[in-house]
Amino acid sequence: MLIERKWKKWLYFYLPMAAFIVFTLFPFYWMAVTAFRPDSELYATWRQPNAAPLWTLQPTMEHVIGLMKTTAFPTWLWNTMAIAIVATGISLVCGMFAGYALARLKFRGSEFLGTAIFITYLVPQTLLFIPLADIVRDLQLGNTPWALMLTYPTFLIPFCTWLLMGYFKTIPKELEECARIDGATRFGAMVRIIFPVAIPGILSAGIFAFTLSWNEFIYALIFMSSADQKTVPVGVVSELIRGDIFFWGQLMAGALLGSVPVAIVYSFFVEYYVTGLTGSVKG
């Protein structure tokens, strides 16, 4: 074993670790403090003595209530949730079949298709938003949830396919060969044998896709124009800043409440998420 002295451990481990924790979490802490702090404390300038203590003595719900009552925030939450779930569902189903096909079936061009999937998964949204906006307009989908439910899969399907393809490859072929000897069709073997075994992989892909669609911004910004159709990120950006005035209390309350659902989902599936994350970069 490598033996370490105590002070050394403090210097090389606890100190940097603590710094990392503060750096990572302080913005969230500050978001929360701001959301519950009354305006009189919020708008005290930086030079005043004790102007910005790191906590608040008079926590208030005024920003949260204001957010719920005066803006369409609950609708945005609902929109974001519905869009994320539908887009994730579509992408998972497509990704499962496509991933299986690429992992198992040897057909002409399957290798090329695998590479093509990988490349499309790397294409950033910001490259294609202008023509996609036009397509959405031509299909008359603009300003409806379908605009996002159908465009998110353009980046989620390649991602799910890639991740699941890797996962299917790790499942031994013998498993489905046995099933087929027992008389199952290829499709039957896939649905009844392989998919159940692959549930951890499917969950990882699903969680990852869910957080990605919750996070998506540029498509939602461009395709959604009326206040009651927006998603949380777009709503917060466009509706909580009126003119040049930032309503910081409400903004932070919105940011906090918009983050909570995705954080909850994440906290239940941390391990799957980490698998998805590390799997997403594997060749």
Binders of another protein among 36-95, rule CB under 8 A?
Answer: 42-47, 51-52, 54, 94
190 in Cβ contact with 173 (< 8 Å): no
Half-sphere exposure of 185 (CA within 13 A, CB side): 3
Return d(Cα 60, Cα 237) in angstroms, integer.
23
- State the Cα–Cα distance between residues 279 and 283, nearest whole angstrom: 9
The smaller minimum CB distance to another protein, of residues 85 and 184, is found at 85
Tell me the closest approach of the beta carbon of residue 80 to another protein, in angstroms: 9
Q: How far is the CB of 254 from another protein (least distance, A)?
A: 8
> Could you tell me which stretch among 68-76, 162-170, 189-197, 256-264 binds another protein (CB under 8 A)?
256-264
* Choice from 99, 145, 153, 201 touching another protein (CB under 8 A): 153
The interface with another protein within residues 181-240 (CB under 8 A) comprises 211, 214-215, 217-218, 222, 232-234, 236-237
What size, in residues, is the chain? 283
Question: Is residue 21 involved in binding another protein (CB under 8 A)?
Answer: yes
Contact flag: residue 278 with another protein (CB under 8 A): yes
Tokens of 266: 């994440």
268 binds another protein (CB under 8 A): no
- Check if the beta carbon of residue 89 is closer than 8 Å to that of residue 157: no
Reference 133, options 220, 213, 209, 230; nearest CA is: 220
Q: Binding another protein by CB under 8 A: which of 56, 60, 75, 125?
A: 125
Please check whether residue 235 is in contact with residue 71, taking contact to mean a CB–CB distance below 8 angstroms. Answer: yes
Q: Assess 11 for contact with another protein (CB under 8 A).
A: no
Query: For the window 157-176, what string marks contact with another protein as x by the rule CB under 8 A?
Result: xx------------------
**Contact present, 94 and 157 (Cβ < 8 Å):** yes
